[in-house]
Chain A
Amino acid sequence: MLFLLPALVLLGALVVYPIGYSLIRSFYNANGDGFAGVDNYKAIFTDDGIRTALKNNVIWVVFAPTVATALGLVFAVLTERVRWGTAFKLVVFMPMAISMLAAGIIFRLVYDQDPDKGVANAVWVGVHDTFARSSAFPNAHPGRESPLTADQGGFITRTTVHTGETVALPLVGVAPDQMPGGARKAVAARSENGRITGTTWQDFTRGKGVGRLGTPDPSELGYDGMRIEAVKNGQVVASTKAAADGTFTLPAAADGARLRLPASNFKQPYNGVDWLGPSLVTPAIIGSYVWMWAGFAMVLIAAGLAGVPRELLEAARVDGATEWQVFRKVTVPLLAPVLAVVTVTLMINVLKVFDLVYIIAPGSSQDDANVLALELYRKGFSEGQPGIASAIAVFLLLLVIPVMWFNVRRLRREERR
């Protein structure tokens, strides 16, 4: 009995006693001097902050374990087919060894909003700009004595234009590093019979009073790719894009129209996704959790996979089953017990998730990313609400009791064998 004593004393004082204490404490008010009945439990379901936490916990418990397990399964099955499978497993499993704090800092860097700093947005913006070129002229606007005036987010000529004329559409304000790479020296357009020609360019030469207003100077650049619309009675009758030197040509249909540089030319460049903003913060943090724990699922499932008799898979293949059918009809059913254990383990783990949310969610969206474990910490240690915190603790404990029971039952069955 002496062998057992230290363990039992420590377990009793540090694990069992707190359970009883929390249970009792959860029925008392904040100061602990008045009986509060079930008020603290009611708060879990009525307090807005706690309800957000509860809702997020449901999202966590549903998605994080299933995604991690599914990825683990796919990785475990696929790594069997490459020679460097062990190295791959090591890479995916490695995050298990580091602290959630370190993982949190790692992902704080990954999710940085600025596409020049956060790798997630750098990749995202890269992909986005490949498929949808963002406009090239943010902040462009008419200068002094301009023939242009603001219109629907873009700019329009004050007067109508006619065939044979040349039109000048000067703007200022585009930062030199934001000019399109292909832009060349602006050139004054030559007039053409039966057409409208013109130039749109950056009418600004560095240095005060240098260059003439309203005329392309040798140092000024054309607005390469600027879209120009001819508008008659509110209808677009013709449109074109400026060449690299800023010149453009419109057909006779534009005769008598006003020329507009539509708003699409002046949108701010695409700045990526606000990963840690209120709406995406929880999925983003779940992503970092999956990064940490998919390796755990993979290793356990791979161990299960090693126990699957190869002859069974071979037999199915000989019978003409495709790889997908073998996976779906043979491998997965045989692995079902392992998958269940992994998923349940991760579910318990997810209920307790604290560090990742605490570290990754910036102050401004921490309320939106809230989870029960974090709310418990806040209520208990910064808001002076140990009663409610204890109720949350008991609630968490109730959620793991089915697993407790399952463990005990499994053990007793094993003992009997």
Chain B
Amino acid sequence: MSGAIVKKGNTIMLSGRFTVGDLKEITSVLEAGSGKRMIIDLSHCDSIDTCVAARIWSTVEGSREAGLPMELQGLNPDTQAIFARFKTIDEKPLKPIPKPTLLYNFEDIGDKVLATWDTVYGLAQFTVNSFKALFSGKFRGSITAYYMEQSGVMAIPIVVTLNWLMGVVLGYQAGYQMSQFGGELFMPALLAYSICWEIAPMMTAVLVAGRSGSAFAAEIGTMKVRQELDALEVMGFNLFGYIVTPKMIALFLVMPLLITAANFAGMAGGLAAGGIFLKMPAVVYIAEVKKALIPFDLYWGIVKGLFYSTIISVTGSYMGMRVRGGPASVGRATTSAVVVSIFLVILVDALLSLLFIHIRPGLTL
């Protein structure tokens, strides 16, 4: 502290210079004087910074409201100017904060409904424009290959590992339950159906949405913030053709392959679970799986993959294109891309499951 505080009778005298670092000492002296009619003498004070002045001002104002006003004395022009500014601020009426009303709540719900509709409509329009560009624009091989590598090749380890683990877990749990009534021989069929019909396509879609959907949104959003999209647009590039369709084609091509890999990884997980926990020989497991599955079951995953890939690439790109403002909105776009993609994937999965029951050979309700 480069200043000194002296309390003499009902006078607190500040001399020297006071900065925000002295706030604690000043506060303790001011608090000790509260409840009395005190005089704060600043005639020997060279300077005080705004924080110290704010503390003195609030103490003086507080004492006035309590009916025991403190008095400020010996202000030099600089400190006088600071206090005058506080006085002006205090006298200016603050804009009243609107109280939440019932109407406000309804308006809020209405706003959210409109925003959701806006997203749905925008996404639908964006999808139409993306397909138009897909069928009318030129094929950009090198960009597509780049995204195939990023979204496909580099996703193989995580997709295979997680689906293998899912196979192990499902195999163990199904096998355990079935062994209670001697039905463990049915585990391979149950697992194969679960993996090929639902688990592998869904797990792969969730992983790709998390890896690639978010990456698409972040990449396009950042390009938007950095005005790269504006630059491409004014150079005459078709943004859908240049930015969106390579991602669509790339995912369209790699997603079925990833799902196929996931199918085999999941069933391999079941094989491991069968061997370790149920002591089931591999030949038995494979024979049971072969007996249960038909080629349609594997093709079905590929069909699902085509739908999911479109959802993920278009939603990720759309959310990226919607970025407005600064980097924070890129983060929001990334989150939205993943959430909306997974929501739509599950929605489409439910619809496809209804269709599946009717079209799979050998399946009757």
**B is bound to A:** no
